[in-house]
């Protein structure tokens, strides 16, 4: 009886073990399926076609194409200013008058000296003709006369400079100097009486990073915004690209004597602005997007779906419950999308990020983790 009972217990234990093994295997199988689903239930995107623009962004300052600082060629006090800020002027128009009293007095003295030396020269010439004066005395009288005439010519020229005229058609930009201000001549730092600019033609001088300057070409179109006109977009065209960086850091003769090297190198890019309504003002800050390339009906994917390794660029293609690592060829980039020129077709689904069962994001730029064994 004991042996029979002992045998039944063994069979019962064996049955329990088999049931436990079956339940465990089923649960393990389900866990693997859930893990696989967790991997494939990542964020998916579909390839699509759209117009794509590649742009270089930069910040610049608006300025007139043509402008001139009006200064004096003589040193004198400003007697009167005949224009004010925002006035429109024509080339040759009188815009200011300097006090010319000192120059008028100097002219009177120079005129007297010319008359005096002319008389002396004429007398010396006569006396020389009759042998009463030497040739040397005649030449001295002639020299004095020529010198007096040169002084008079210089004085007359200075007196003419007391009348300040506009050198070009344009608009008075900024407040002119007021009457009573001393206008100082000079080649290095003369007094600027006023600034006149042609406000019908404007441009942007923008700074472009050295990593982007190779993509920028003369003739490329651009759009830009300014803070003053929120929501309004203006257009411009690249007209000139500087051949040296903004600080001339390559030139040891002109760059700073500091041994430090700028962390970022910028180049000036000049853009001609379209402003038919004359809304833009000098010194406004422009945020510019230069269109360096453009494609219609391009096959694109989000940049976040594109990965790279030592072999090149690739994406993870979702196929049923599997993920396929597929290498692709890329074209132009925008801020959010990249053109795929080879390796994908319309409508394929791509994995953007990989999620663990706990929901954490394991997308670190490489391929997804292998399924559990």
Same domain for 149 and 175, yes or no, is no
| pLDDT score recorded for residue 21 | 57
* In a domain? residue 6: no
- Tell me, yes or no, whether 235 lies in a domain: yes
Domain assignment of residue 194, yes or no: yes
pLDDT tens-place string over residues 224-262: 999 999 989 999 999 999 988 888 777 766 555 455 555
For each of the chain's 373 residues, which pLDDT tens digit applies? 545 545 555 555 555 555 555 655 555 555 555 544 444 456 889 899 999 999 999 999 999 999 999 999 999 999 999 999 999 999 999 999 999 999 999 999 999 999 999 999 999 999 989 888 899 999 999 999 999 999 999 999 999 999 999 999 999 999 999 999 999 997 788 999 999 999 999 999 999 999 999 999 999 999 999 999 998 999 999 999 998 888 877 776 655 545 555 578 999 999 999 999 999 999 999 999 999 999 999 999 999 999 999 999 999 999 877 889 999 999 998 888 999 999 999 999 999 864 433 333 333 343 333 334 3
pLDDT for 353? 65
User: Quick one: pLDDT at residue 354?
Assistant: 46
CB contact at 8 A, 326 and 289 = no
H helix or E strand, kind and range, residue 69: strand 67-71
| Cα–Cα dist 273/163, whole Å | 35
Residue 239 counted as domain residue? yes
The CA-atom distances, in angstroms, between 219 and each of 223, 271, 371 are 13, 9, 53
Task: Judge whether 306 lies within some domain.
Answer: no
Q: What is the pLDDT of residue 19?
A: 54
The reported pLDDT for the residue numbered 56 is 94
CATH code, 140: 1.10.287.470
Count of domains in the chain? 3
Same domain, 135 and 225: no
Q: CA angle, 227 as apex, 238 and 206 as ends, to 5°?
A: 25
Q: In CATH, what number is assigned to the domain containing residue 287? A: 2.40.30.170
Q: What is the reported pLDDT for 17? A: 52
In three-state secondary structure terms, 97 is strand
Instruction: Spell out the long-range contacts of 77-81 with Cβ–Cβ below 8 A and sequence spacing 24 or more.
Output: 77/180, 77/181, 77/182, 77/183, 78/177, 78/178, 78/179, 78/180, 78/181, 78/182, 78/183, 78/193, 79/162, 79/179, 80/179, 81/176, 81/177, 81/178, 81/179, 81/193, 81/194
């Amino acid at each position: 009886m004991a042996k029979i009972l002992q045998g039944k217990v063994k069979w019962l234990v064996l049955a329990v073990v088999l049931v436990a093994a079956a339940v465990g295997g089923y649960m393990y199988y389900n866990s693997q399926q859930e893990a696989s689903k967790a991997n494939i239930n990542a964020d998916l995107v579909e390839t699509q076609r759209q117009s794509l623009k590649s742009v270089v962004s930069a910040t610049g300052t608006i300025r007139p194409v043509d402008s001139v600082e009006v200064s004096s060629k003589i040193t004198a006090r400003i007697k009167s200013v005949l224009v004010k800020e925002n006035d429109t002027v024509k080339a040759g128009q009188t815009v200011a008058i300097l006090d010319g009293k000192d120059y008028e007095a100097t002219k009177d003295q120079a005129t007297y000296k010319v008359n005096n030396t002319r008389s002396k020269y004429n007398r010396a010439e006569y006396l020389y003709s009759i042998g009463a004066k030497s040739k040397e005395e005649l030449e001295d009288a002639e020299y004095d006369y020529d010198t007096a005439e040169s002084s008079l010519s210089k004085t007359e020229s200075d007196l003419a400079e007391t009348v300040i005229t506009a050198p070009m058609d344009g608009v008075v930009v900024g407040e002119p100097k007021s009457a009573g201000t001393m206008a100082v001549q000079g080649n290095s730092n003369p007094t600027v009486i006023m600034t006149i600019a042609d406000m019908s033609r404007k441009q942007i001088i923008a700074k472009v990073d050295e990593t982007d300057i190779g993509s920028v070409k003369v003739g490329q179109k651009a759009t830009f915004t300014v803070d003053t006109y929120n929501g309004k977009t203006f257009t411009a065209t690249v007209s000139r690209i500087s051949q040296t960086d903004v600080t001339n850091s390559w030139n040891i003769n002109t760059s700073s004597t500091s041994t430090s090297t700028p962390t970022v190198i910028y180049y000036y890019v000049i853009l001609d602005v379209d402003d038919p309504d004359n809304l833009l003002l000098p010194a406004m800050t422009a945020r510019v997007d230069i269109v360096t390339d453009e494609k219609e009906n391009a096959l694109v994917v989000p940049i976040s779906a594109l990965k790279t390794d030592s072999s090149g660029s690739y994406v993870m293609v979702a196929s049923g419950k599997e993920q396929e690592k597929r290498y692709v060829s890329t074209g132009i980039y925008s801020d959010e999308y990249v053109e795929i020129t080879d390796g994908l077709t319309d409508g394929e689904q791509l994995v953007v990020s990989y999620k663990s069962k706990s929901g954490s994001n394991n997308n670190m730029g490489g391929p997804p983790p292998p399924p559990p064994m």
